[in-house]
A and B are shown apart, each in its own frame.
Chain A
């Protein structure tokens, strides 16, 4: 039973490592393309949020490569994600695509439930194997983040604008093949060193923009239309509010590891929002406050169109923008969003920030 998982940023790399380690055959969907998007949108409810549609495209394309089992997360509400798998199952059924869906309903309380789920899938592998599998996934996620952070720093400073991305892509292919902790970290260090060695302007002080918002859109370059790359090319240092390993820690390990977690962000959000609003809305508000505190020059919120938690956050962000004197822009994406339009809006926003900064610097002298 070849298993597949939907894409979300680079999450598939550590997930695949984990599943293979416990002896499952894994067939990943091809990277998201226009075709994925159109397969997904043609067959999904028109007004569903974008991740549901792209997941569906991923499944159909993975099926073409021979996958017959889908591994997917579930949820208990309040947001739509908790019902994705049910809707997707109905759609696949009506399309006559016969795939088994294994839905990992959220571990109610602990990492143990998650491990139990994995153990069932893995057909009674020993605990030791399972723990090692999770460790392997974790090393890969950490290594990817390490290089990703360096990539964000390098992009605005490099002389040739796609150099660092090439190194990153090569590193991702490498890390996918490696299975030893030391090899994985060594590959990451090498990639970081290579980026440092790129011809670049060391004196350049880029403006900094924090990327906040709905997690899937923040992490998946295909749906955010290469937002970070575009900013990098404009000489802007983009900084995401969340990285892969932090997401895994919050959602799978339930925050047991001492990383920056959603608790911190929720506390920061509290003057403006102190209640869970589904999805990532609460953290979005907290991340905007954090960005202002840490001296970012602007904030960009990204989310799928009609995303409920992010609409709540969007309604609150102007208050933060005013209080903390930081420009905030909201970008919604759906299947119709074009890259050209996105770039125009980004350029306008970046220009505005540059002007503001210039005026502030001049008037403070």
Chain B
């Protein structure tokens, strides 16, 4: 049986169930790279250009981690996952960046995923991915359709089930230890905004979710907001937001601003992130104008230290508790 490696980075946090089940349904063994660790960070930082953002550097590290362990690596070019939207220019060049990196790569399963103009492009992309495994079109499409059901389930658990992404992912990784506490209605919620590959990578985020939970907060993220609400709220912008992740963050921020159970908002961005330099600005301006809850903006890169983050989180949480006490 051949093995296909999937880097535990970037859109792993959004699409792993889909990819995993698709390959597995085709009889392939899926291997994930190790959870982000010091080695992966160091390798990524050493191989990528200095100016790249941390998530992109980590991607290099995760690819290297897989390179000599698997028969093939899944290296999609994720241009767009929704009509007239994009992820980020860096995602559009990622496969070429990796191929220029000098890493000794096994076979690559490459595919362009661009749904910006045409939704049905997905079917074509699936066939292209499957071609690496089998020539049987029907088998590929069947594997794909089943995987799509998995993916829907994964999203449903988060949107309506209130589960955080790491918890939902455990159903597919069969790993434990990432589990976060379930949602409880009474405790004050802190909304965490940011790209999934920052928030849910425990190493990168310095385990911010657990840290907040230990302080006594309930964590809620943009992934826990149903798509229809995101669309409706983001539509309040005078110009359509063309970044998929940016749209989700803005939509969620507008939504959280209205929710009495959300007591504070934290936005985490990669240092040097292009889209977030503007999306974050919009969120911050709206938060400042509304003046209804504490807001914390954190940027992270490979040099960010635990201590600084902890101090700022604690101050932020104290502020929330103090405000709560005032209200009661």
Contacts and interface: CB of A to CB of B under 8 A. Distances in A.
Interface in A48-94: 48-49, 74, 76-80, 82-83, 85-87, 89-90, 94
Interface string B138-166: 00000000000000000000000000000
Contact of B243 (A77, A85, A311, A316): A77
A278 B51 contact: no
A86 B239 contact: yes
B95 to A, nearest CB: 8
Interface in A251-301: 272-279, 281
A90 B277 contact: no
A80 B89 CA distance: 9
A312 B89 contact: yes
Interface string B272-298: 111111101110010000000000000
A272 B88 contact: no
SS of B interface (majority): mixed
B92 A272 contact: no
Contacts of A312: 89-90, 92-94, 96-97
A47 B297 CA distance: 13
Contacts of A125: none
Interface string A311-334: 111111011000000000000100
B221 interface: no
A314 B92 contact: no
B65 to A, nearest CB: 19
A82 B282 contact: no
B123 to A, nearest CB: 20
B52 A45 contact: no
A306 interface: yes
Nearest to B97: A315
A46 B277 CA distance: 8
A346 interface: no
Residue from B51, B52, B77 with most neighbouring chain A CB atoms (10 Å): B51
Contacts, number: 122
B223 interface: no
A77 B100 contact: no
A348 to B, nearest CB: 18
B49 interface: yes
Contacts of B93: 273, 275, 277, 281, 309, 312-313, 315-316
Interface residues of A, number: 42
Given A83-B278, A311-B49, A306 B97 contact: no
A319 B97 CA distance: 10
B79 A275 contact: yes
A311 B112 CA distance: 20
A80 B282 CA distance: 13
Contacts of A49: 274, 277
Contact of A315 (B52, B239, B285): B52
Contacts of A82: 242
Contact of B285 (A90, A273, A314, A332): A90
A308 interface: yes
Given A272-B100, A311-B52, A319-B100, A45 B242 contact: no
A89 B237 CA distance: 12
A70 to B, nearest CB: 15
A109 B86 CA distance: 19
A48 B281 contact: yes
Contact of A48 (B49, B87, B101, B278): B278
Interface of A: 45-49, 74, 76-80, 82-83, 85-87, 89-90, 94, 272-279, 281, 305-309, 311-316, 318-319, 332
28 contacts: A47-B273, A48-B281, A76-B84, A76-B242, A77-B85, A79-B89, A79-B274, A80-B278, A83-B239, A83-B278, A86-B237, A86-B238, A89-B238, A90-B282, A272-B100, A275-B92, A275-B93, A278-B89, A278-B92, A306-B273, A308-B88, A312-B89, A312-B94, A312-B97, A315-B49, A315-B52, A318-B100, A319-B100
Interface of B: 48-49, 51-52, 56, 77, 79, 84-90, 92-94, 96-97, 100-101, 112, 237-239, 241-243, 271-278, 280-282, 285, 299
Closest 4 CB pairs of A and B: A312-B93, A278-B89, A78-B86, A77-B242
Given A86-B282, A275-B96, 16 more contacts: A47-B271, A77-B242, A80-B278, A86-B237, A86-B239, A275-B93, A276-B92, A281-B93, A305-B272, A308-B88, A309-B93, A311-B56, A312-B90, A315-B52, A315-B93, A319-B100
